Structure 1
Amino acid sequence: MATAVTDVLVGGLGDDTLVGGAGADQFSFQPGDRLTPEQESIGL
């Protein structure tokens, strides 16, 4: 388990809610992954 602040489950640094890397990842996105317009619209 990650020890970064606000990690909810398994993740990296930042506001991860599920598996992810640094930042406010919502699912398993990694830095550099392209988001769909739908994902961008909900603030991923």
Structure 2
Amino acid sequence: TGTENTLYQQFCPMYDKGSAWLSTSKEVKNPYYGSRMLKCGKVQKTIQ
């Protein structure tokens, strides 16, 4: 990937028919729902 950092593609099935985002943390922190559903989602792919 051209980076020394591991990235995690995370996915929330509930936001807008499903939405994905990248994170540097394996712990899911959903950016779409804020504190209401912060942990909603799962890691779909690890990018190293």
What is the TM-score of this pair, normalised by structure 2? 0.19
Structure of greater Rg: 2
Whose strand fraction is larger, Structure 1's or Structure 2's? Answer: 2
What is the TM-score of this pair, normalised by structure 1? 0.19
With CA pairs under 8 Å and 6+ residues apart, which has the higher RCO, 1 or 2?
Answer: 2
